[in-house]
């Protein structure tokens, strides 16, 4: 049984990773919004799920994302952690190792996405640890990065943050992946999101991105807060909450996307 609201199974020790376990649970506990009931298949299905997850991660091979613990919790403030860059296989294990002895944190995310399995595993770890997530000013967080951001028990978005979602795709054809989309659906369901949120996150095809707006956030249950001023000042001192690079054409939202704005003030 895969119940990641409480305790994901360990990864990297010969067992199935959390995302693969989610994949196998999809076949045993079909999600209504996906509209496809799988069959129980025991070990064979689990092996197939693992193989499919591996295929979905192949396209993310390359330089790992930068995972850093910039500041430890000090009794008054949570630890500050950053994940920057394209998420690839192994980044989830690095993240789990780095946060093993951290119990309160804000995780700042920035990047174009990357491998689905490691991104979902990062999100599951964030939820298990009870961490908050944030996307800073002038930062983009698309695809797998945005899915990991959703793992936060509280989510922050800076004024000019751009957080975007789209469907999963197959590495070879770049076409929508039914399995990948189902895996995303099960992940979001495990995090407690309703079917309307899942439908929204999977709305845009792989070649585009749907950037979160205040209206969409309220309508589809993706609650996010503006960073408290005290945390803005703190993270600026250690360069955590703002992108180090100016917006470039490559970082712009794709055609048809809208720029995210502050969602609501924290009270």
- Rounded to 5°, the CA angle 225-32-208 comes to 55
Tokens of 64: 């790992």
Q: Distance (Å, rounded) from C-alpha 129 to C-alpha 153?
A: 9
- Report the percent of the chain where pLDDT is more than 70: 66
Question: pLDDT digits over 209-240, tens only?
Answer: 999 998 999 999 998 998 777 777 777 777 65
- Span 105-116, average pLDDT: 94
The Cα–Cα gap between 30 and 32 comes to 6
**Mean pLDDT score, 115-144:** 94
What's residue 44's pLDDT?
A: 40
Per-residue model confidence (pLDDT) at position 158:
85
Instruction: Tell me the three-class secondary structure of the chain, residue by residue.
Output: CCCCCCCCCCCCCCCCCHHHHHHHHHHHCCCCCCCCCCCCCHHHHHHHHHHHHHHHHHCCCCCCCEEEEEECCCCCCCEEEEEECCECCCHHHHHHHHCCCCCCEEEEEEECCECHHHHHHHHHHHHHHCCEEEECECCEEECHHHHHHCCCCCEEECCCCEEEECCCECCCCCCECHHHHHHHHHHHHHCCCCHHHHHHHCCCCCCCCEECCHHHHHHCCCCCECCCHHHHHHHHHCCCCECCCCCCHHHCCCCCCCCCCCCCCCC
The mean pLDDT value for 128-132 works out to 97
Q: Tell me the pLDDT of the chain averaged across its residues.
A: 74
183-214 pLDDT, tens digit each = 999 999 999 999 999 999 999 999 999 999 98
pLDDT tens for residues 88-110? 999 999 999 999 999 999 999 99
Q: Distance between CA 95 and CA 115 in Å, rounded?
A: 14
Q: Which of 232, 146, 227, 140 is nearest to 184 (CA)?
A: 146
Residues contacting residue 260 through CB under 8 Å, at least 6 positions apart: 157, 160, 161, 162, 163, 211, 212, 213, 214
Q: Which domains are assigned to the chain?
A: 66-243 (3.90.226.10)
Are 148 and 122 spatial neighbours (Cβ–Cβ below 8 Å)? yes
Contacts of 146 (CB under 8 A, 6+ apart): 113, 163, 164, 165, 212
Least confident piece of the model among 103-112, 122-131, 197-206, 244-253: 244-253
Tally Cβ neighbours within 10 Å of residue 151: 28
Q: Tell me the pLDDT band of 112, cut-offs 50, 70 and 90.
A: very high
Reference 155, options 217, 211, 199, 95; nearest CA is 217
């Amino acid at each position: 049984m895969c119940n990641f609201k409480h305790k994901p199974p360990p990864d990297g020790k010969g067992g199935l990773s959390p995302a693969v376990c989610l994949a196998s649970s999809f076949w045993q506990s079909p999600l209504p919004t996906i509209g496809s009931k799988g069959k129980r298949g025991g070990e064979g299905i689990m092996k197939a799920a693992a193989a499919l997850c591996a295929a979905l991660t192949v396209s993310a091979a390359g330089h790992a994302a930068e995972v850093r613990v910039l500041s430890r919790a000090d009794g008054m403030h949570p630890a500050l952690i950053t994940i920057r860059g394209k998420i690839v296989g192994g980044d989830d294990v690095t993240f789990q190792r780095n946060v093993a002895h951290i119990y309160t944190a804000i995780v700042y995310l920035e990047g174009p996405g990357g491998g689905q399995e490691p991104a979902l595993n990062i999100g599951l770890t964030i939820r298990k640890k009870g961490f908050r997530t944030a996307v800073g000013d002038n930062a983009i967080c698309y695809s797998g990065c945005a899915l990991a951001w959703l793992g936060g028990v509280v989510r922050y978005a800076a004024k000019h943050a751009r957080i975007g979602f789209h469907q999963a795709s197959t590495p070879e054809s770049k076409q929508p992946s039914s399995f990948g989309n189902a895996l995303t659906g099960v992940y979001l369901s495990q995090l407690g999101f309703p079917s309307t949120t899942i439908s929204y996150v999977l709305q845009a095809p792989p070649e585009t991105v749907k950037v979160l707006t205040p209206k969409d956030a309220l309508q589809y249950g993706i609650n996010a807060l503006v960073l408290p001023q005290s945390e803005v000042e703190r993270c600026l001192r250690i360069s955590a909450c703002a992108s180090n690079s100016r917006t470039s054409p490559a970082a712009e939202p794709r055609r048809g996307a809208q720029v995210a704005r502050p969602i609501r003030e924290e009270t």
